[in-house]
Chain A
Amino acid sequence: MKIVHYVNQFFGGIGAEEEAGRPLEIREGAVGPGRLLEQLFGDGSQVLTTFVCGDNYAVEQQDQLITDVLNHLRASGADLFVAGPCFEAGRYGMAAGALCSAVQAELHIPAVTAMGGENPGVDLYREELFIVDSGASASAMSQVVTRMVALGKKLVAGEEIGTPADEGYIPRGLIRDAFVEQNAGQRLVAMVMDKVNGDPFESEMMSTSFEPIPMPAAVADISKARVMVITDGGLVPSGNPDGIEGMAATRWGTYSIKDKDGLDGKDYEISHGGYDPRFVEADPDRLVPLDALRQMEKEGIIGELHNEFISTSGLANPLSNTRRMGKEMAQRVKELGVDAVIVTST
């Protein structure tokens, strides 16, 4: 097995926080935990290259890091890309996740990493990656690497990967068909009984954690502000020109409301499979309150209404998707010089 490995400056033996700004170094052979990888993979397995990079550099220059790693990997003939384990080191986890994700998507080389459950990289990448649950403590290094190796071997061999509980990776939120002994009702009752009796039980749903959102400052004077509407209610021009999906949308659109004092149902449709769209289709102002805002613009209550609205469909969407779209929208809103946004959600 030919492996390429990514570690941060600490596990690469360069230094601790004071070396976090170190740019990417490409070293031949195994470094730090890579030696354990080689040993546990056995069969003459080799870490061809180790990428060592400072945590700050990795996060601040993420695009450059990805480009450099991909360029090097392309010609390497590697069978597997391994990053970490990162435990609860947040920047390390984010870099490892970004790299594994890029390597998988661009080069189709399987990738495996390991993080603790609270690592922000988990939230961002667990849907697309196999992230071994490392726990918080680096003292578990050898157990964690053992699990990474087992998973890595299966990935390279193209074998079927078992459940998160069996293989020790963090649940990806995938649903797989399987035969079970008890139907959902029976399992539900058993779970309730366990709960009532104070016995341990395990939920079949995974709970999602949301990082706190920093409080945005108030708009100083709304009568001078440029206001924009964004909706996740799936309002699109008739014919849905951007092909925004009615569930698990991957796209969003920007639609002009220039010279309009209100929205006319015959010009629009709803691409959203999660609510009865008839009321909004009859009068889209019920979702994007253009008539009220336009009037308030004329009266000087708001400074200006931005002449387009943004729309997507918020239904059954993986968080990674919605986060990406949210960031893209925020970027767009900034570029447009908009001061305040009203998001309407169904």
Chain B
Amino acid sequence: MQITSALPIAKMVGSNRVVLGNGIVHVAGDPNLPVNEEKDLRRRLVQKALDALESEAKE
């Protein structure tokens, strides 16, 4: 699976499990958040990625 903020590229090349990241320059983070909240955000994102890996993707 892929975490990316460049969704059109992921679609173009045919990635089939994609989770939208939190920005090109910090795909799994947010420097505007306090550290703990940023860690929570990252954890939620990774959890989504793991959920995607466990899901049967459809064409």
Point out residues on A near B: beta carbons under 8 Å. Answer: 210-213, 215-222, 225, 227, 233, 275-280, 282-283, 285-289, 291-293, 295-296, 301-302, 340-346
Contacts and interface: CB of A to CB of B under 8 A. Distances in A.
B21 A344 contact: yes
Contacts of A283: 29, 31
Say which size band chain B's interface belongs to: 35 or more
Given A210-B13, A283-B29, A346-B27, A292 B50 contact: no
Which of A222, A277, A344 has its CB near the most chain B CB atoms (within 10 A)?
A344
Contact of A215 (B4, B13, B16, B54): B16
A326 B56 CA distance: 23
A215 B10 CA distance: 14
Contacts of B10: 345
Interface in B1-57: 1-6, 9-10, 12-17, 21, 24-29, 31, 39, 42-43, 45-47, 49-50, 53-57
A216 B27 contact: no
A216 to B, nearest CB: 7
23 contacts: A210-B12, A213-B15, A218-B55, A218-B56, A219-B54, A222-B54, A225-B53, A227-B50, A275-B24, A287-B26, A289-B28, A292-B42, A292-B45, A296-B50, A301-B50, A340-B50, A340-B53, A342-B2, A343-B3, A344-B28, A345-B4, A345-B10, A345-B27
10 nearest A-B residue pairs (beta carbon): A286-B29, A345-B4, A279-B26, A286-B26, A289-B28, A292-B46, A292-B43, A213-B14, A343-B2, A219-B53
Nearest to A342: B49
Nearest to B16: A215
